[in-house]
Amino acid sequence: MQFYEKLDFLMNITKTTNSTLAMYTSLDASHISRLRRGERRLVKEADYLKKMAHYFISHCIEDYQIKTLSQIIKMQPEHFQDSKKATEVIYQWLIGHEETGHASISGFLDGISDFQFRKNTPVSDEFTDSDSKIPKKDVALYYGIEGKREAVLSFLSLILEADKPTTLLLYSDESMDWLTGDPSFAAKWRDLLARVILKGNRIKVIHTVSRNLDEMLEALSKWMPLYMTGAIEPYYYPKKRDGVFKRTLFIAPKITAITTSSLDMMTHQALNILFKDKKALAALTSEFESYLFMCRPLMQIFTYHQKQQYLDLLKEFEKDATPTLLKSNCLNWSTMPSTVAESIINRSDSDDKEKLIQYYYDRKEAFEKGLEHCSFHALLQLPSVTDVREGVVNVAFTGIPETSNICYTPFEYKAHLENTIQYLQKYDNYNIKITTKNRHDSFILYVKEDLGAIVIKQNAPHAIFAINEINMTAAFWDYLRDEIDLSEKDKTSTLKDLNDLYSRL
């Protein structure tokens, strides 16, 4: 069980309202509500957790409450007589297994950072060598997980045979075992899907965000090579579903489709139907499009050639004055002196230098306005003095491809560092924590609380992922908040470190 599920269970069994628990823990009722719905993730060592544990133990006094709770948390009923011990057990149960979310975020970010396009080893696949497995009839039936795999390979092979590219429509809230359970099949699936995209087909996929965070991020990681092509539009349905019946709907309009309905515990027996009948395809396409109309974009993916679209989005993102967290191994573009920014842009290969310089001034203005009202915390890894002196420190990649391979001159870096020190001294809301971990992360993580998260892949192939789904945004926020550790704000120490580097330069 995740934290929000445990909290909801305890509140239900003790018949506790949001407002009652809020008063006891000194939190807002809206904050309790969001914790209970899973829209805010657990904060490690938060003061309110032990208060919650004590509250629930003191309000769990009926025999049926004690019996039910003891079964759930694997605790002997007689131990409830020791209030102090029982409170500690409830506290440990509440915080248990919450590190998996951070591990999943970290794994997802590492996957983005490490990703490179590699030449695929051709997969020997009977489905691509012969049409003997492709159904001749307009309707074909397949059973269970093995049947679904066979149907999916036939589905992709039929798309490859089509004369014209199309936009595939994909949705499934069934277990991902059919894809993740067999590495050989997963390789075939990736190979065929890559060929489908190379042929000019695009994809609209509706992801299931009601999966737990680990499963969701694993699914996104599986799609990473395809996201990097820019050919996929991911969406999600924002409301809760009962989850009793599961559905798969894969459609290549006017070509073929797969549909499955199953109970969650019966996927191994589920009936998978592959269609080629034109009327059936039209009906299924209409059904998918009606569902898509109720969905929202899960994230936007910007590749090397979509600079302007990303810069437009970033401008809107930075206009919102909300608490902000930033993780980077580079100094922040927005704290760069104007002379340095203009010098770097003028050294670039851009044909539109004046527009990029104006973009820099717009970002700088939005950054300074935001600091007047909201906190901005950054986690920064400093380069070595030798790297700065040798001119091998890269400028942060912020979606401008022409600056991606430009390095600071020693004078430029020193000027940028000096300006960063001045921002720290001028703005109370601006804070930097220097990390001593020698990591070579090739990404920037930029999160605004309750608004969205942007992941910038700095090494080739460059890509930018903009996410605004509320639960994923909260997960990225909590991950980065713990990385920075906001409880250890020490601007004096940071200024000492920055001034020390400046003097050594």
Return the CATH number at 31.
Answer: 1.10.260
| Amino acid sitting at position 8 | D
Assess if residue 113 is contained within a domain: no
Q: 452 in a domain, yes or no?
A: yes
Residue at which a domain ends, from 297, 324, 339:
297
In a domain, 82, yes or no: yes
Tell me, yes or no, whether 102 lies in a domain.
Answer: no
- Are 330 and 457 members of one domain? yes
Claim to verify: residue 92 and residue 188 sit in the same structural domain = no
What integer pLDDT is reported at residue 61 of this predicted model?
Answer: 81
* Res 485: pLDDT: 73
198 & 291 share domain: yes
User: Residue ranges of the chain with pLDDT lower than 50?
Assistant: 98-100, 121, 123-127, 129-132
Q: Are residues 319 and 457 in the same domain?
A: yes
Tell me, yes or no, whether 410 and 453 share the same domain.
Answer: yes
Among 97, 127, 160, identify where a domain stops.
Answer: 97
Residue 275 and residue 146 in one domain: yes
What's the domain range around 53?
Answer: 3-97
Instruction: Specify the pairing of strand 299-303 against strand 324-328.
Output: unpaired
> Same domain, yes or no, for 364 and 459?
yes
Segments in 115-211 forming alpha helices (H): 126-129, 144-161, 177-180, 183-198
Q: Which two tokens stand for residue 337?
A: 């002196």
Residue 325: phi and psi, rounded to 5, are: -125, 140
| In-domain check, residue 106 | no
Q: Both 280 and 158 in a single domain?
A: yes
Kindly report each contact of residues 303-307 with a partner whose C-beta sits within 8 Å and lies 24 or more positions away, as own/partner. 303/228, 303/229, 303/230, 303/461, 303/462, 303/463, 304/401, 304/461, 304/462, 304/463, 305/230, 306/230, 307/399, 307/400, 307/401
Whole-number Å distance between alpha carbons of 58 and 81? 10
Number of domains in the chain: 3
Same domain, 367 and 288: no
CB 148 within 8 Å of CB 270? yes
Domain boundary among 282, 297, 312: 297
Q: Is residue 197 within 8 Å of residue 231, measured between CB atoms?
A: yes
Residue with tokens 């490490």: 114
User: What pLDDT score was predicted for residue 281?
Assistant: 96
Q: Which residue has the tokens 């969701």?
A: 216
Asked if residue 111 belongs to a domain, the reply is: no
pLDDT at 253: 96
Q: How far is CA 245 from CA 175, 242, 260, 265, in A?
A: 12, 8, 10, 10
Q: Would the pTM of this model clear 0.75, i.e. be above it?
A: no
483 and 427 in one domain? yes
Length of the chain: 505
Based on the fold, state whether residues 239 and 326 are members of the same structural domain: no
